[in-house]
A and B are shown apart, each in its own frame.
Chain A
Amino acid sequence: MINENVEDNTSTKINDFVVKFANTNGTGSASANNMFAKAIMRMGIPVSAKNIFPSNIQGAPTWYEVRINENEFLGRRGGKTEIIVAMNAQSFIEDIEDVVSGGYLLFDSSKQIPADLLRDDINYLGIPISSMCLKEFQNPRQRQLFKNVIYVGALAALLDIEFGVLKTLVGDQFKGKEKLITPNVYALELGFQYASNHFSCPLNFKVQRRDLIGNRIMVDGNTGSGLGAVYGGATVVGWYPITPSTSVVEKFASYCQRLRIDPATGKKNFAIVQAEDELAAIGMAIGAGWNGARSFTATSGPGISLMAEFLGLAYFAEIPVVLINIQRAGPSTGMPTRTQQSDVLACAYASHGDTKHVLLFPESPAECFEHSALAFDLSDRLQTPVIIMSDLDLGMNDHLSAPFIWNDKQKYDLGKVLSIRELDNTESFGRYRDVDGDGICYRTFAGTHPNKGAFFTRGTSRNEDAIYSEKSADYVDNMRRLERKFATAATLIPKAEISSGLQNTQIGLIYYGSTAQAIGETKHILHKQGIPVDLMRIKGFPFGSEIKKFIEQHEQIFVIEQNRDAQMRTLLSTELNIDPNCLTSVVCFDGLSITAKQISNDIIQVIEQQIPNQEVV
C-alpha cells in the first residue's frame, strides 16, 4: 500500500539508509535480524547493527538498528528512520513516530490497526505475517520464530537483497541441523513472494552490490575480548555475571571448550570459576596471577566498584591481572543495557591511596582481540593490573571489523621472573629492588627454589626485601619506584593513533574507544562546513608523550566522549598538566552511542560562538 498522499521528498537512496526492527524481547528475532545485516555485508556493502534492548528477559520492546552506508559511516546515525519493521504492538505508536517523512512502516496486518494511529506522510507495508504463519506452520514455536524470517524475506524483495545470499546464509547458520534449512528458506520465500506480489518492489531505498568489505568480519567486541584472552594464554578466570560483560567469559569458555581440551586426556587447560561476587572474582584472578598463571576477570560498573580494594592490592603488591570492563551507563545500576564510557576515572584511579592503573581503550572487535591478548603481556611485564575499557556498544553489538590477527612468531612476554637457575646465580634477591632502573623488579613463584627467592607478599608497606617496614624512607622510595614503573608503562602501551599534518589546521579532535565509529563521518561533515580537523585516538593510559605534543600543536582541542563529566578531559588535564580551558569537551551520555551529527553540531556551535568574540577582541 503506497500512500498516495505522501509526497516523494526522498529521492532514490542506494546503500545509504537505516532499517530499524522493533521487536519484543524473547521472540527470537535476533537471529533473523542478524541474518538481514549479514546479507547486506555479503553483498559487499558496509553495514552496522545496533541492538537496543531492555534490562529484561521477555516481553519488553527491543530495537535492532541497521545502518547501511557505502561511505563507511557506520556509527549510529540518529534522527528518524527510513524503514521500520514494527513487530511490537507495545512500541507501535513510538515506531510510527520514528519513521522519516516519506519512509516506510512494515507491519503485521493480520489485525486491523486503529486509523487514528496512522500518519499520512509515510508509507505502510502491511503483511499479514501472523495469519501466514498460522496457516503455514503447525508447531507453535515455529509460528513465532518464522514471523521474523518472513519479514526478512519481504525486505529482500523490497530492498533488492539477493535472495541467493539469504539462502546461503540460512545454510551456513544451520550447518549440521539440515532439517531446519528447508522451513527457513520456505519462510523467506513466503515473505519475498508476498512483498513482490503486493508492493512495487524494490523501494526507492535499496541496496546494490558493491565490493567494499574486503577481508573484514562482522562480530561483536566481546567475542574479540574472549578470544583474545584464549590467544593471550589466559588459563584462570574468576567471574560474576553482569550485563554487558557476561559474554566475554561465555565466549572465552566456549572457545576453550573447543581449543583447550587436551586431546589425549580430555582434560582442561583452563579453569573458570563462577565466583560468589566480583570481590571473589578478582581475588581469584589475583591469586592466579600471583602464582604465575595468566588470569582475568570481566565485569561492568557495579563490579568495578566492588573490585576497587583488590585492585589497590594488586597495584601495591605488584601482581599482574587483567580486568576487562565492558562499560555501561551508571551511576549505580544506571541503565544497565545502555552504553557509556563513564568508568574512565573510576578505573584509572581505582582504590584508595595513590593508586593508578594501566588502561587500554579498544575501538573495534579486532582491537578488543588485540588488546585482550596484549594485556597479558603488559601486565606480566609491568606486574600490575591492566584494565581494558570496552563498552556495551562495542562489546555486544556486531561491528564490521578488521579480522582478528595473530602472528605465530609472537611469544608471550612473561616479564621479569627468576627461574631456579637464575636464583642459584643470584647473590641476594630483593623482591622490590629496582635492579634495572625501570621501576620493575624481579619476582619469583612459589615452588621454584628450595631456599632462595621466597618472600611474603602483602598490601602493607615493605622495604626492598619485602620485609614489613613503617620507615617513611622505605615507603617513599617504594612509592617513587611505582611512579617510575608507571612512566615505563607509558612507553609500553600502544601509541595514540594520530592523523594530522595534512590540512594545516588548528583544530584537533581527541577521542577513544567506541566513539571511533562516529569519527569518519564527523570529519566529513566538518570538512564540508569548511572546518578541517586533525584526529587523535587515545589507545591507552598512562599517556605517551605524543599525546601532549598533539594537544600543544593545536590551538583548539575537542575531547569527545560518552559520559557527562568529561572524564577523559579531566584525566588529560590532570596527568599532562594541561590547563583544562584548553580542552573543550563534547559529550553524549544518553545511553545510546554517540552520533557524528551531534559531535559536529556541538563543534560547529562552539566555533561559531568564538567568531564574534574574536571580532570584539
Chain B
Amino acid sequence: MSFAKSKFRHKSLPVNDLGLTYRDYEGAISTLCAGCGHDSISSAIIHACAELSIEPHKIAKMSGIGCSSKAPNYFLNNSHGFNTVHGRMPSVTTGANLANKDLTYLAMSGDGDSASIGLGQFAHVVRRQLNMVYMVANNGVYGLTKGQLAATSDRGVKNKTGDTSLFNDIDLCTMALQLGASFVARCFSGDKAQLVPIIKAAIAHQGFAFIDIISPCVTFNNHPGSTRSYDYVQEHVTTGAVTDFVPIKEEITAQIPEGEFEDICLHDGSVIRIHKLDKGYDTSNRLKAMTDVEEHKQRGEILTGLLYLNPTASTFHELNNTADTPMNQVKQDLLCPGERVLGSINDSFR
C-alpha cells in the first residue's frame, strides 16, 4: 500500500537552486518496516537529489521486485518510476536508456533481485557501461518473502529460522569491478554522511555507477549472529577515505583538510574530494580495489567508501555512436526512408 503525503509546506524550509525544498523530492509514505535500512537509503537519495538541484522529472526510478525495489515509490514523487519484474530491472533500464539517454537513471535493487535471479542481467548491464546509478540494498536476506538467505550472505551465518548459509557469498562490488564498472562504492545505510555524497558523485558520474549499500533488515536479519545486523555492521565497518562531493558551481572553499586528500574531477566539472584515512587508498586501481575488498573481508571487516572510479570511461551511447537526439524524440522523417527509397529496394528483389 502507499499513502499520499500531505502537501503542506513549511515556509521556512530551505530551497535549492530550482526553488524546490526537500519535500519536493519526497515520495509516498513508506510501508516498509519501521527501522528498515531501505528507508534510510530513500532519505539519502532525497537529500542527494535535492542538494544537486536535479529536476525531479528528469529522473527515472527503476527497480525490480522486493522490499528494496518498492523503495522508489517512497522518494521522488515527481519522477516517473518503473517497478519491473524480479531480477530484470537492468534490461528494462537498458531499454529505457536506449530510448532516452537524457534522463538520470536511479535504480534500486535487492541482493535477491541482483545476486540471484538477476545475476545475469546485473553482469551484463555492467558490461554495457550503461550510464546509470545502480544501487543494491544488501541485507543478506529476502525481505519480501520473509527472510530466506540471500546469495550475498556470508558463509556459515544463520538466518532467523536457523538455516545456515552453506556456500560462498557473492560480492557484487567485486563482480562490478571485474566486469568493468567505472564507479564502484560500498556504503552502509546507517551512515548518511558517507552515503549522500557517494550517491551525488554516482549521479554526476557519466557511466555505470554501482553502490552496494549494506541495509539491515530489522525484521528478518537483525539478530545476533547475523553479519548484516545494525550492531554487527556498525562494529565491523571500516573505510579507507571520507568522500566529499563538490558540485560544479561551488568553489572549493572548504578548508584544506589535514592529511592526505585527492580531488577527482568528473565529466560535468564537479569534484569528488577524497580524504584519505588509509595511506594506501587509491581509487584508480581496479585490481587493488578487488584485493582490498577481499583482504578486509578476511579480517572480518566490511570495507566501505568509494572503491574505484574511472572518471573518463566511455558509456554505452558513446560506444554505440548513438545520435544526439534521444531515440524517443527523433521524428518520422528521419526514421522512415519513404516511398522512393522503397521503390529501389523493391527493385533489388526483382
Contact = CB atoms under 8 A, between A and B. Distances in A.
Physical interaction between A and B: yes
Interface of A: 41-42, 215-219, 223, 227, 230-233, 235-236, 238, 255, 259-260, 262, 265-271, 273, 275-277, 279-293, 295, 309-310, 313, 403-408, 411-412, 444-451, 454-460, 467-470
Contact of A284 (B4, B94, B335, B339): B94
Contacts of B321: 266-268
B327 A288 contact: yes
Nearest to A458: B83
Given A231-B337, A271-B320, A295-B99, A446 B83 contact: no
B120 A447 contact: no
A217 B346 contact: yes
Nearest to A172: B348
Contacts of A451: 56-57, 78
Interface in B65-103: 72-73, 77-85, 88, 90-100, 102-103
Given A218-B350, A231-B336, A267-B324, A238 B78 contact: no
Contact of A468 (B2, B60, B100): B2
A450 B78 contact: yes
12 contacts: A219-B349, A227-B345, A238-B94, A259-B337, A284-B94, A288-B98, A293-B327, A406-B342, A446-B57, A446-B103, A456-B81, A459-B85
Contact of A291 (B1, B96, B128): B96
A287 B338 CA distance: 27
Interface in B309-339: 317, 320-328, 330, 332, 334-339
A282 to B, nearest CB: 8
A447 B121 contact: no
B98 A287 contact: yes
Contact of A293 (B58, B59, B99, B317): B99
Given A289-B95, A446-B79, 5 more contacts: A215-B346, A230-B337, A268-B321, A447-B80, A449-B57
B350 to A, nearest CB: 6
Contacts of A444: 80
Nearest to B27: A456
B124 interface: yes
A301 B15 CA distance: 55
Given A259-B337, A468-B73, A457 B121 contact: no
Contacts of B93: 287
Count chain B CB atoms within 10 A of each CB in A233, A279, A288 and give the residue with the most.
A288
Contact of B338 (A310, A408, A454): A408
Contacts of A273: 94, 98, 128
A562 B322 CA distance: 42
Contacts of A292: 99-100, 328
B323 A269 contact: yes
A95 B213 CA distance: 66
B171 interface: no
Ordered nearest first, which 3 A-B pairs have the shortest CB separation? A287-B95, A283-B91, A293-B99
B88 A295 contact: no
A309 B118 CA distance: 14
B254 interface: no
A447 B96 CA distance: 12
B256 interface: no
A290 B95 contact: yes
B91 A233 contact: no
Contacts of B58: 446-447
B341 interface: yes
B55 interface: yes
Count chain A CB atoms within 10 A of each CB in B98, B337, B350 and give the residue with the most.
B98
B88 A265 contact: no
Nearest to A412: B332
Count chain B CB atoms within 10 A of each CB in A223, A281, A283, A285 and give the residue with the most.
A283
Contacts of A281: 91
A404 B345 contact: yes
B83 A265 contact: no
A266 B323 CA distance: 8
A459 B92 CA distance: 13
A284 B91 contact: yes
B84 A283 contact: yes
Count chain A CB atoms within 10 A of each CB in B28, B123, B341 and give the residue with the most.
B341
Contacts of A309: 85
B349 A290 contact: no
A240 to B, nearest CB: 11
Nearest to A236: B98
Count chain A CB atoms within 10 A of each CB in B72, B79, B327 and give the residue with the most.
B327
Interface string B4-34: 1000000000000000000000001000000
Contacts of A288: 95-96, 98-99, 327-328
A468 B1 contact: yes
B157 to A, nearest CB: 30
B7 to A, nearest CB: 11
B322 A457 contact: no
B79 A284 contact: no
Contacts of A217: 346, 349-350
Contact of B342 (A275, A404, A446): A404
Nearest to A411: B332
Nearest to A449: B57
A455 B120 CA distance: 29
Contacts of A285: 95
Contacts of A218: 349-350
Given A231-B337, A412-B332, A287 B99 contact: yes
A399 to B, nearest CB: 10
A310 B85 contact: yes
A444 B338 CA distance: 29
B328 A291 contact: yes
A253 to B, nearest CB: 12
B104 to A, nearest CB: 10
Contacts of A286: 84, 92, 95
Given A407-B339, A445-B80, A454-B78, A290 B92 contact: yes
Contact of A236 (B95, B123, B345): B95
A383 B323 CA distance: 26
Contacts of A233: 332, 335-336
Contacts of A275: 91, 124
Interface string B170-191: 0000000000000000000000
Given A233-B335, A270-B327, A454-B78, A276 B121 contact: yes
A255 B342 CA distance: 11
A553 B92 CA distance: 47
Nearest to A220: B349
Contact of A267 (B323, B345, B349): B323
A408 B337 CA distance: 9
A26 B85 CA distance: 42
Nearest to B31: A468
A282 B2 CA distance: 29
A370 to B, nearest CB: 12
